[in-house]
Structure 1
Amino acid sequence: MTSQLVSPAFVSVFFSHHIRVDSSFHKTMPTTENPVKNVVVHPLVLLSVVDHFTRMSKIGNQKRVVGVLLGALRNKGVLDVSNSFAVPFDEDDKDKSVWFLDHDYLENMSTMFKKVNAKEKIVGWYHTGPKLHQNDVAINELIREYCPNSILVIIDAEPRDMGLPTEAYHAVEEVHDDGTPTSKTFEHLASEIGAEEAEEVGVEHLLRDVKDTTVGTLSQRITAQLLGLKGLLKQVRHIHEYLDQVIQGKLPVNHAVVYQLQDIFNLLPDVADQQFVKCVHTKTNDQMLVVYLASLTRSVIALHNLINNKLTNRDAERRKDEKDKEGKEKKEEKKEEKKEEITKDKSEKK
């Protein structure tokens, strides 16, 4: 079944009364605890998502695209997302509760992928975000009919900052303090970019013309540390904004998050402690001493190079002067010989 644009009213009625899932695809109800602890996204998925986003941006004004993730769960809660395919999706820009996802197309594509590789199963879905949307919980409930422990991976197809373009989430039940019924929300999962040996070779081949070979390992290490500090600063700002919204009453108190923040604050050192200040000063002095010695060594080496260069130039000039002197002497000798020959010829003629 191919996707068709329909009116928002029809979509609302369709999803209210006619959402169905084929019995061959129906699974058991999702468990309360998600076994996934870490999500590994493979390069093929990133390339497919970027291609999907690029194609749709050329033919329409869609702000994001949606697709299904395929993969398998490894040991120790590691989810390998090794493949993906696009799904026809549309939503109302004004009313985010009105959306359409072609689940018939999803079922047909899943069946074909199973014929190619039976190990790859539906593990979740993706969209190009770049952030969570209001209707993501409802879309996730539909995907959970095909995968009980559905994972949402937001892949930023147009990243503005350096760093990983992926963010992984899974749905959890949020309990409110005021006694109101629980609600669905998303909880963040650790994510990373990983690849097998064959994929690494392909990625290296694609990046061969883009990679700057003049960049050394030291600059790469400094760049990685700088990106890490920028990411840390970004997370600290997110925490600050979250706490401000909780204080203002815009967000409910999440005790798990508060406990984790308390653990973070407990791990912070006491900067007012004299022993800590002394240790920091000692460490700083040691590092400055290393920098000073390195600068002094560079200066001495530069001075030696200057002296050697001066001696080399002096020797070269001396050799050049000697050659010039020898050349002049030879020219004078030749002139004298010519004069002698001329005088000899004249005397013989007489």
Structure 2
Amino acid sequence: MALNLVVKIHPVVLFQIVDAYERRNADSHRVIGTLLGTSDKGVVEVTNCFCVPHKEHADQVEAELNYAMDVYELNRRVNASENIVGWWATGNEVTNHSSVIHEYYSRECREPVHVTLDTSLAGERMGLRGYVCVPLGVPHGKQGCMFTPINVSLICYEPEVVGLQLCQKTIGASGRARQVQPAPDLAQVAEAAARLASSLDQVLQYVEEVAAGRAEGHKAAGRALLELAHSLPSLAADSFADAFASSVKDLLMVVTLAQLVKTQLQLNEKLTLLTSQ
């Protein structure tokens, strides 16, 4: 049953792992920690994590388990829905000490997952892999375990998508250009509209090339375009334009009211401060 697990990881977890790796001690070559999230019907969704201090020797592993439990209990006070679902480690392979660490997490949760993140950027990629431990051995004989790969994918909430798009603007930049400020609401709407227009141009070009016989059509792409066309409301062009304009006006009104309320609260705060002085 464990082999059918699917692990979905949120970007904030990757950021936390990289941050823990950057803050590691000079003599630490690998960093480990606890994965937090939910597990339901064969899908493990990892939404949070934290680092667990440890030391690895040739014949043993020393981990501060009391510290790990204290951090977990503090996190439970903030978000009671996050439970222990496994553990993570930096690097691109499973080491000899992984089975010992995995045995501890097997006592903390059912079917824990093990995730590795290659922070060395081998091949200019940050390799992300997931494993489960499958028991091996003969009845009434010596027992062992084997780490078997499972599917791992990234999943994002809408606010996380905005953050990732903001981080993407710093790629290839240097110096002050790497510092990007969040864009205003209307600017984000304009950027989203520009990206949508660019995507529609690409789709239109693809359809025209397939219709003219200059490119080979793909059934999956055709079904996706047909589903997209059927999802549109059956309105005339003028009616759709009027409805869209009305929605935009409502959006602008809400943004304006929000800005007015924000300004009024700031003025009230400053007046209160001046009066108290």
TM-score using structure 2 length: 0.59
CA contact (8 A) 2:10 2:156 kept: yes
Structure 2 alignment gaps of length 5 or more: 174-197, 200-212, 216-277
Aligned in 2, Cα 1:37/1:162: closer, same or farther, shift over 3 Å? farther
Picking from 163, 178, 185, the partner of 1:202 is: 163
User: Is 2:37 the partner of 1:64?
Assistant: no
- What is the match of residue 23 of structure 1? none
Are 2:5 and 1:37 equivalent residues in the alignment?
Answer: yes
Unaligned runs of 5+ in 1: 1-32, 218-288, 292-350
C-alpha displacement of 1:74: 3.5
Structure 1 residues 113 and 36: CA distance shift in structure 2, 3 A: farther
Pair 128,105 (structure 1): closer, same or farther in 2 beyond 3 Å: same
Shift of 1:100: 0.5
Bigger strand share: 2
2:110 to 148, 168, 178: 148
- Tell whether the 8 Å contact from 2:38 to 2:82 is kept in structure 1 after alignment: yes
Going from structure 1 to structure 2, the CA distance change for 1:74 and 1:211 (only over 3 Å counts) comes to: farther
Q: Which residue of 2 aligns with 1:98?
A: 60
Q: Is 2:25 the counterpart of 1:87?
A: no
Q: How do 1:130-209 residues align onto structure 2 when only pairs under 5 Å count?
A: 130-162=92-124, 165-175=127-137, 181-209=142-170
Out of 4, 11, 16, the position equivalent to 1:48 is 16
Aligned to 2:86: 124
Secondary structure at the counterpart of residue 144 of structure 1: helix
Matched-pair contact (CA < 8 Å) for 1:164–1:192: no
Partner of 1:20: none
Q: CA deviation at 1:164?
A: 5.7
Aligned residues: 179
Report if aligned partners of 2:37, 2:81 keep a CA contact under 8 Å in 1. yes
Q: Structure 1 segments of 4 or more deviating over 3 A? A: none
Matches within 5 A, 1:244-255: none
SS at match of 1:130: coil
Taking only the aligned residue pairs, the percentage that are identical comes to 25
Note the C-alpha offset of 1:161: 2.0
Report the CA distance shift for 1:164/1:65 in structure 2 as closer, same or farther (over 3 A). closer
Give 3-state SS (helix, strand or coil) of 1:119's partner: coil
Partner of 1:286: none
Distance in 2, matches of 1:41 and 1:161, equals 22
Residues in 2 aligned to 1:38 and 1:114: alpha-carbon distance in whole angstroms? 24
Q: Secondary structure of 1:83's match?
A: strand
